[in-house]
Amino acid sequence: MLNQKCIDLGSAPNDIRALFAYGLQRKAEIGEDKVFDFSIGNPSVPAPEEVNDCIRRLLEEDPVALHSYTPSPGSWETRVAVAEHLKRHFPIDAKPDQVYITSGASSSLAISFKAVASPGEEVIVPSPYFTEYKTWVEAAGASIVEVPCLEPSFQLDVPAIEAAITPKTAAIVVNSPNNPVGAIYTRESLERLAEAMRKKEEEFGTKIYLISDEPYRAITYGKEVPFVPAIYARTILCYSYSKTLSLPGERLGFIYVSDLMDNPEETTFAIQGAGRSLGYICCSALWQRVLQECIELPSDVEAYRVNREILTQGLSELGYEFVEPDGAFYLWVKALEPDAKAFSERAKDFELLFCPSDGFGGKGWFRLSYCIARETIENSLPAFAALKKAYDEQQ
């Protein structure tokens, strides 16, 4: 019998993809330059040239060895490369044994949730959030507990998170720099969260994991992104090269089980077992080799910095309210009516395509992905002005 939950998931519309598809159709109808598509987080900066050079070199090697299976957690050399990278940049004596190479943050997270949460348990998610968390947590038989962030800063509401922790809490997820808001959680708020988690672990006699989802770690505009394992020992770090090296289609990332926790080996076994049970064999062998050679390449954030300037300056002159983004490439803007879905629908009349906050577990805001061509942003400003005017005239 077909699994009804899977049918529901497979047939449920994905709002972001649907909007993106609408954008493609609309561009075909009226012209590329007439549609202002801020829907999707696909990096507009090309991957570094060194990545392509590396692939060309690798293709000269023995094809049998190059394309063979690697061990499921990744080849030892790739795991060493990640551990060495972590040691170079952060105050941690990372061991390769605790590194597990994945196909991007999605698999890092799906595997981590399955590893730490048993059926009936709960995972606390500060909202708004990347909504696939819910799918992956529920696939593990657990459920999510949403705790809204503090408005208008969208920093963590630590007392509310603490109040939501129960003996059933298996994990808390943090995503900083954040999608969809662009906020970076302050060191102080993470320290208070860690304190609350340690207190609750002691009170309930449980182990509560902090899952740090960090695909945007390197995309920042000057603020510090605290290294979470150094703040809370029981941290599982989920990383991806989709955004920072502009490789979203290549599916490359890793999980790092912090060496600072009291049970890193047992937790790593759970990660390996979760990967195995999900049918995850190993990440692409070719891309593991690329990672070994390209791991120190910096992210090119300049184009996003310029886009961010043009967009925030333009929208603020027009009177839009938004959260000043400290990282990632998203702008979280207040909708001009309480119903963000209706507002986003209305914006389509002005050829502006963006995602309402409802899809991220929030109300009354919308998300602009500004990882797009600079001209699209510049040319979109008159459309944002017209949209605002239409609402002002309604008052």
Q: Using CB under 6 A as the criterion, which residues of the chain lie in contact with ligand PLP when the complex forms?
A: 41, 104-106, 130, 175, 179, 213, 215, 240, 242, 248, 253
What are the residues whose beta carbons fall under 8 Å from the beta carbon of 374, sequence distance 6 or more? 303, 306, 307, 310
Q: Which is nearer to ligand PLP, 215 or 229 (CB)?
A: 215
CB of 175 to ligand PLP, least distance (A): 5
CB of 20 to ligand PLP, least distance (A): 13
Q: Which is nearer to ligand PLP, 140 or 387 (CB)?
A: 140
CB of 342 to ligand PLP, least distance (A): 25
CB of 106 to ligand PLP, least distance (A): 3
Q: Which is nearer to ligand PLP, 136 or 350 (CB)?
A: 136
Strand partners, 144: 123
CB of 219 to ligand PLP, least distance (A): 11
Q: Which is nearer to ligand PLP, 23 or 104 (CB)?
A: 104
Q: Which is nearer to ligand PLP, 200 or 217 (CB)?
A: 217
Residue (of 293, 262, 243) closest to 78 by Cα position: 293
What are the residues whose beta carbons fall under 8 Å from the beta carbon of 198, sequence distance 6 or more? 232
CB of 111 to ligand PLP, least distance (A): 12
Q: Which is nearer to ligand PLP, 135 or 376 (CB)?
A: 135
Q: Which is nearer to ligand PLP, 175 or 350 (CB)?
A: 175
CB of 328 to ligand PLP, least distance (A): 8
Q: Which is nearer to ligand PLP, 23 or 182 (CB)?
A: 182
Token pair belonging to 177: 């720099």
7, 125, 216, 279, 380 from 353: Cα distances, Å: 28, 27, 23, 37, 10
CB of 129 to ligand PLP, least distance (A): 8
